[in-house]
Amino acid sequence: MKLIAASLGALLLSATFSVVQPAMAQPAEPVEKTSAGGWSPAAAASYLDGRELWWQSWDRAKRDHDTTCVSCHTVLPYALARTSLRKVTGESGLSPAEQTMLAYVEKRANLWDEVEPFYKDASSGAGKTAESRGTESVFNALILARYDAAGAGHMRAITRKAFQSAWSLQLQSGDKAGAWTWINFHNGPWESDESQYWGSTIAALAVGFAPDNYKNDPAIQKNIDLLRGYLRREYATQPLINKTAVLWASSRLEGILTAEQKKALAADLAAQQQKDGGWSLTDLGSWKRHDNTPLETRSDGYATGLTALALRESGSGAPESLRRAQAWLTVNQEAVDGRWLAWSINKQRDSQSDIGRFMSDAATAYAVLALEKK
């Protein structure tokens, strides 16, 4: 339902991107909802900040050197979306949750040779050390590049160091050359057999977001050529959700998809669009839940947000599909807490539980990005 207009009271903090003391985790305060074209940036910011603070306090998220894991579902989307929300909420600086999140990422990027991987072979299974390192290196580069672009507009030394760590782990040979060894716990859509490709779209976005024309730096052209080659080579075999992600990445890093591929993909996505204007993640891949429960088939905020974002950013056509998707997003923000709903493709979960909200965390972030005014 549409959210009624009101005002946001928020702490306005310095935008200096330096390591700070972690903010104490606490429940997000209720926010009176400010309507902007039918949806509430204030409510979305409150939901995302609350979820990030919860993640920082959760024992299972904590890692060495007083940091936390950068999760695919909560932390990474949060970092992408929170800078966009600040443009419309009127905040002058980072929220406490952002400050702590960024401090953790900076610390781990700076101490890269000292911090332990998020998951280790000894405790999580063979290969998890390399998978964790590859995944985290890409995430660090994207988050820091995103904040540099939104802040001073120049790459900091810590961001360059994060990219160097990522490039050092890029696969240089074999059929996966150009990609990274990626975390795989057989949980879709970000930690499964098809997720290595998605991870490479994240790397392409990192390069594309980085300021100072980093993507044209002669020192990394071999790496970028390998990355483009992998994304082009593996494109045809990817599920629609991965193709959608690379469509977005292609708007930031040229030379991945042809104009014909973009047009054809836009048509394929339009064919999967539901009557209400949204998309269901169920329709954008081949999934099977571990508990054998039926998959949710309703339109969800993650599939709809990411698809609308990719269509808009890439300029690949399908304007009517984009209009209908943004209309769906505008009226499907939850009035109670400001999130957009999405559901696990791995297990049937209680959508009100903390773990059951993981997909809604990502959905809310991508919905925000898709509705952002350009």
Reported as type and span, the H/E element at residue 244 is helix 240-250
Single-letter amino acid, residue 66? D
Count of domains observed in the chain: 1
For residue 53, is it within any domain?
yes
Could you read off the pLDDT of 207-241 as tens digits, one per residue? 999 999 999 999 999 999 999 999 999 999 999 99
For residue 33, is it within any domain?
no
With pLDDT > 90 as the criterion, what percentage of the chain qualifies?
86
- What pLDDT is recorded for position 46? 97
- What pLDDT is recorded for position 37? 59
For residue 13, is it within any domain?
no
32 within 8 A of 42, measured Cβ to Cβ = yes
Q: Is it the case that residue 116 has pLDDT exceeding 60?
A: yes
Report CA 283 to chain centroid distance, whole Å.
Answer: 20
138 within 8 A of 165, measured Cβ to Cβ = no
- Please report which confidence band the pLDDT of residue 13 belongs to, taking 50, 70 and 90 as the band edges: very low
Lowest mean pLDDT, pick from 15-29, 121-135, 241-255: 15-29
Could you read off the pLDDT of 52-94 as tens digits, one per residue? 999 999 999 999 999 999 999 999 999 999 999 998 898 989 9
- Please report which confidence band the pLDDT of residue 317 belongs to, taking 50, 70 and 90 as the band edges: confident
For residue 307, is it within any domain?
yes
- What pLDDT is recorded for position 240? 98
For residue 247, is it within any domain?
yes
Could you read off the pLDDT of 150-173 as tens digits, one per residue? 999 999 999 999 999 999 999 999
Dist CA 186 CA 131 (whole Å): 13
For residue 243, is it within any domain?
yes
Query: CA angle, 306 as apex, 300 and 307 as ends, to 5°?
Result: 90
For residue 193, is it within any domain?
yes
Q: In a 10 Å sphere around its CB, with 0-12 CB exposed, 13-18 middle and 19+ buried, how is residue 98 labelled?
A: buried
Q: Is it the case that residue 316 has pLDDT exceeding 90?
A: no
Residue 245, token pair as written in the block: 């992600």
DSSP per-residue letters across 110-122: HTTTTSPPSS-HH
Cβ neighbors of 318 (< 8 A, separation 6 or more) are 266, 267, 269, 270, 311
Which of the two residues, 355 and 90, has the higher pLDDT score?
355
- What pLDDT is recorded for position 373? 76
The β-bridge partners of 62 are: 68
With pLDDT > 70 as the criterion, what percentage of the chain qualifies?
90
Residue 151, token pair as written in the block: 């802040």
- Residue 247 domain boundaries: 41-371
Question: What CATH number did the domain enclosing 166 receive?
Answer: 1.50.10.20
- What pLDDT is recorded for position 374? 59
- pLDDT average, residue stretch 343-367: 97
Q: Is it the case that residue 15 has pLDDT exceeding 50?
A: no
